[in-house]
Amino acid sequence: MNGHRQILRTDPSGQPIGWVEYPEAARLLVLGEVCYASGSILYRLRGGINARSGRQSRLDVHAILATRIDDTHRSWLYRSYVPPLSNAALFRRDARICLYCGRRFPQTLLSRDHVRPLSRGGEDSWTNSVTACKRCNNRKAGRTPEEAGMALLAVPFAPTHAEYIYLKGKRIVADQMDFLRARFPRESPLHARLAGGHA
Ligand SMILES: [Zn+2]
């Protein structure tokens, strides 16, 4: 029905857990793992014919499914939780904009720049990593921004779990966006971005 829409899975209290493809969502529904569903219907799956009623069963898969979950999947509840750093999520955090020259690039022309270079004791972490076009990254080389005379356009931040799920999402539908956005921290830089339509 909707190509490759993903379903946002949450725990029963509405904490986002992550994205699932529709076969996994259907499995959760059939197994009775879904506590409640909300949002628009993304998929309508047809099942078998009920012998008694003669009706074909139907399975509606909504945009957001609250499911049972065991505590081993809740690592983000710990205060020290930091989502894993990947280039894809990093570039999405920075809206594919080079934080040195301020221009937007396709992913293939972007790179992960370590603000304080690894060779100088910098960490490979969210707060020491920014999106940089390959040209700016080469120019900066093994220097700090101050040494290179290249000012950073934004302060790099580590996303919260809800922000990270947003950054990992593909073709997020409006219901899911609203749901996640309501769980971003108030000071999240992503609010302004989403308001500006640069998702
Ligand atoms: Zn650049």
Question: How many helices and strands, by DSSP H and E, does the chain display?
Answer: 7, 6
Residue 26: both structure tokens together: 């259907």
Lowest mean pLDDT among 27-36, 74-83, 87-96, 116-125: 74-83
Q: If you measure from the C-alpha of residue 94 to the centroid of ligand 1, how many angstroms do you get, rounded to a whole number?
A: 12
pLDDT at position 1 is 47
Q: How far apart are CA 6 and CA 177, in angstroms?
A: 12
Q: If you measure from the C-alpha of residue 117 to the centroid of ligand 1, how many angstroms do you get, rounded to a whole number?
A: 17
pLDDT at position 48 is 75
Residue 168: both structure tokens together: 């990992």
Q: How far apart are CA 76 and CA 87, in angstroms?
A: 20
Q: If you measure from the C-alpha of residue 143 to the centroid of ligand 1, how many angstroms do you get, rounded to a whole number?
A: 15
CB proximity list for 43: less than 8 A, separation 6 or greater: 1, 2, 5, 22, 25, 26, 60, 61
pLDDT digits (tens, 9 = 90+) for 171-192: 899 999 999 999 999 999 999 8
Q: If you measure from the C-alpha of residue 139 to the centroid of ligand 1, how many angstroms do you get, rounded to a whole number?
A: 9
pLDDT at position 56 is 80
Residue 74: both structure tokens together: 């809740």
Q: If you measure from the C-alpha of residue 115 to the centroid of ligand 1, how many angstroms do you get, rounded to a whole number?
A: 13
**Angle, to 10 degrees, between the axis of helix 161-168 and the axis of helix 174-181?**
160
Name the percent of the chain lying above pLDDT 90.
Answer: 71
Q: If you measure from the C-alpha of residue 113 to the centroid of ligand 1, how many angstroms do you get, rounded to a whole number?
A: 10
Q: How far apart are CA 20 and CA 45, in angstroms?
A: 16
Q: If you measure from the C-alpha of residue 110 to the centroid of ligand 1, how many angstroms do you get, rounded to a whole number?
A: 8
CATH of domain 89-148: 1.10.30.50
What length does the chain have? 199
Q: If you measure from the C-alpha of residue 83 to the centroid of ligand 1, how many angstroms do you get, rounded to a whole number?
A: 25
User: 181 burial class (0-12, 13-18, 19+ CB within 10 angstroms)?
Assistant: middle
Q: If you measure from the C-alpha of residue 164 to the centroid of ligand 1, how many angstroms do you get, rounded to a whole number?
A: 24
Q: If you measure from the C-alpha of residue 137 to the centroid of ligand 1, how many angstroms do you get, rounded to a whole number?
A: 7
Q: Tally Cβ neighbours within 10 Å of residue 194.
A: 16
Domain ranges of the chain: 1-83+168-199, 89-148
